[in-house]
Amino acid sequence: MYPSRFRYEAPQSLDEAIGLLHDGGDYAKVLAGGQSLVPLMKLRFASPDLIVDINNVPGLDYHRADADGTLRVGALCRHADLERSALLKSSQPTMAAAAPVIADPIVRNRGTLVGSLCHADPQGDWASVVMALGGSIVARGPGGRRTIPIADFVTGPFQNVLDPDEIAVEAVIPPAQGTRAGGYLKLERRVGDFATVGVAVALETSGETVTRAGIALTGVGGSTIAAAAAAAALVGGPLTADRIGLAADFAAEAAQPRTDHRGSAEYKRHMVRTFVTRILGRAQPTEPATERAA
């Protein structure tokens, strides 16, 4: 199917893009990688009046670490940039594990991490990863910049808190206080598919002690789920079998899966438990646990 008729603008600066959104009427949409928006438009699930394509806006295609270790991922940084990133491989095991299992190479060449967060698909992989890492989104609008923790950013399936004239300019991952460990595991029906179940685990350790933990779940609820009790079970001591078992049980309890053509709710809950156990069993500082299970 063809999309409905729309006006297309390709501004050359962020200010111009924000101005176009501000003056753009009731239904304007930002276009980044187009890997979610364009399919929705072709199916006419989305019929915006105005498309503001930000691909000509300079200076948004970065990912970099500040001196204190804060990681910044710009709005035009593609999944593929993150998949190939030496920076992620050396310092962000959970992100390094997730990047290669997002969709397929064609989608990864165009799609963006920030676009994925904005799209707020409960089956989006990046939202769990960024949530486990305690990340946030920086938005810019006519009134200036604001920073929104990822836990507050998504309000429901395919909904976020951005105003119609705001653009998400970057995602921010705070610096680790200790050594990072963790991973991302994803069950998919075939390579390139969305997650039937995804689990992101992000740890910070000092010696053998876990000093911070984040666990978040993909595809097993109406939106990304933060498994807070599971993460709390890991903090304050070493990764013993008891703690790992407790965290896996809490994470399975936090999941809210539904039975569908991808599997029963019971099976999906079991996979959450299995993935948490598996990631934590392999967790070594800065070595990503990564795997596609089909």
Residues that bind ligand FAD (CB under 6 A): 29-37, 39, 75, 102-103, 107, 111-112, 114-116, 118-119, 124-126, 162, 167-168, 194
Tokens 């709710």, residue located = 265
Distance from the first to the final alpha carbon of the chain? 30
Q: Report the alpha-carbon distance of residue 181 to residue 160 in Å, rounded.
A: 29
40 vs 246 by CB, closer to ligand FAD = 40
Q: Which tokens sit at 136?
A: 């946030």
The residue type found at 141 is G
Min dist CB 271 to ligand FAD, Å, is: 16
Min dist CB 208 to ligand FAD, Å, is: 33
Min dist CB 40 to ligand FAD, Å, is: 8
Q: Which tokens sit at 291?
A: 């795997």
Q: Which tokens sit at 200?
A: 């992101």
User: Which residue's Cβ has the minimum distance to ligand FAD?
Assistant: 111
Q: Which tokens sit at 131?
A: 């949530």
167 vs 244 by CB, closer to ligand FAD = 167
247 vs 271 by CB, closer to ligand FAD = 271
Collapse the DSSP code of 92 into the 3-class scheme (helix H, G, I; strand E, B; otherwise coil) and give the result.
coil
184 vs 250 by CB, closer to ligand FAD = 184
Min dist CB 148 to ligand FAD, Å, is: 12
Residue 71 CA, chain-centre distance (Å), reads 14
Which residues, 6 or more positions from 273, have their beta carbon under 8 angstroms from its beta carbon? 248, 249, 251, 252
Q: Are 192 and 104 in contact (CB under 8 A)?
A: yes
Tokens 């069950």, residue located = 187
Min dist CB 46 to ligand FAD, Å, is: 7
Q: Are 195 and 88 in contact (CB under 8 A)?
A: no
77 vs 239 by CB, closer to ligand FAD = 77
Collapse the DSSP code of 70 into the 3-class scheme (helix H, G, I; strand E, B; otherwise coil) and give the result.
coil
Min dist CB 193 to ligand FAD, Å, is: 6
158 vs 267 by CB, closer to ligand FAD = 158
